[in-house]
Amino acid sequence: MLEVQEVSKTYNPGTVTEQCLFDKFSLSVEDGQFISIVGSNGSGKTSLLNIICGSIPVQSGDVLVGGESISRKKDFQRYITMGRVYQNPALGTCPNLTMLENLSLADNKGKSFGFSRGVNKKRINYYRGELEGLGLGLEDKLNVKMGSLSGGQRQAVALLMATMTPLNFLILDEHTAALDPKTAEVIMQLTNKIIREKRLTAMMVTHNLRYAVEYGDRLLMMDRGQVVLDRVGAEKQSTSIDDLLTLFNKISIECGN
């Protein structure tokens, strides 16, 4: 279980642009839960993910995994049991390394990076199988540099890499936002498949209300650092895009947008 306890986050403290985003914000996530998070820009969705991952510091509060505080752990230490896919497909892979080299790196996560061979030839068939599972014809491109693949292909490989080793959490930060509608759909389906097959706990920030409604078993809507809608299970299943849109518009009007 992941618990965010009374976290307060203020941007630019002590300056004229000081802005309080979270004031004693709390949230708990059950193991195996797949949460989709929606909300307007600046509502705190990505900040929440960054706080969980340790990418940004907080003023107060605690983040617990399985009852243990991870607040003192640096970002890279938290990633031992976390995977993250970013909005920008370029962030999930190394463009100048081949796909094989990229996959080998991901495969070795959690182990030491010593002086043994970087690419384990015995694993190539396993990689091929995983790539075939993506259904994008990438299994023949193992020796191609990542940089020469399309955004959608890179994002698919990034997803594969992020989930290759055992994880407690998968963090998806608008990971379909930079893709064309068709590719986004493919990546979203793949995401769902991987999360269900590996029984991952996942948090997905998205601007696509349909994805938020269709996928996941809990739905959060955030606004100005607060959860304004939280629906789980059957209640979530009965939520429609129209419901979300109505609430979204109401919030926007209140904000004066």
Partner 1 sequence: MLDLLVSTLIQGLIYALVSFGVYITYSILDFPDLSVDGSFPLGAAVTAVLLTRGCNPYLTLLAAILVGALAGLCTGVIHVKLHVRDLLSGIITMTALFSINLQIAGSNLTVGRSVDTIFTAGPTMALFGGLSLTNRKLVVALIIAVAVKLLLDAFFATKAGLLLRAVGDNAFLVTSLAKDKGNVKLAGLVISNALVALGGALVCHETRSFSATMGTGQVVFGLATVIIGVALFRRFSFVKGTTAVVVGSILYKLCIAVALDLGLPPNMMKLITAVLFLLVLVASGRKGEEIIHA
**Contact between 57 and partner 1 (CB under 8 A)?**
no
**Contact between 177 and partner 1 (CB under 8 A)?**
no
Q: Residue 201's closest CA among 81, 30, 84, 46? A: 30
Residue 86 tokens read as 């970013």
- Kindly list the distances between the CA atom of residue 7 and the CA atoms of 60, 84, 123, 148, in Å, as whole numbers in the listed order: 6, 21, 42, 41
Per CB under 8 A, the segment of 11-19, 97-105, 178-186, 190-198 that binds partner 1 is 97-105
- Choose which of 64, 90, 142, 232 interacts with partner 1 (CB under 8 A): 90
**Contact between 166 and partner 1 (CB under 8 A)?**
no
Per CB under 8 A, the segment of 80-88, 176-184, 204-212, 237-245 that binds partner 1 is 80-88
d(CA 150, CA 148): 7
Q: Which is nearer to partner 1, 99 or 222 (CB)?
A: 99
Residue 69 tokens read as 């505080």
R_g of the chain, CA atoms, integer Å = 19
CB of 166 to partner 1, least distance (A): 12
**Contact between 112 and partner 1 (CB under 8 A)?**
yes
Beta bridge partners of 231: 219
d(CA 187, CA 206): 13
- Choose which of 104, 153, 183, 191 interacts with partner 1 (CB under 8 A): 104
**Contact between 56 and partner 1 (CB under 8 A)?**
no
Q: Which is nearer to partner 1, 102 or 208 (CB)?
A: 102
Q: Residue 163's closest CA among 107, 104, 242? A: 107
CA atoms within 13 A on the CB side of 93: 30
**Contact between 182 and partner 1 (CB under 8 A)?**
no
* Contact set with partner 1 (CB under 8 A): 74-80, 83-84, 86, 90-97, 101, 104-106, 108-110, 112-119, 162
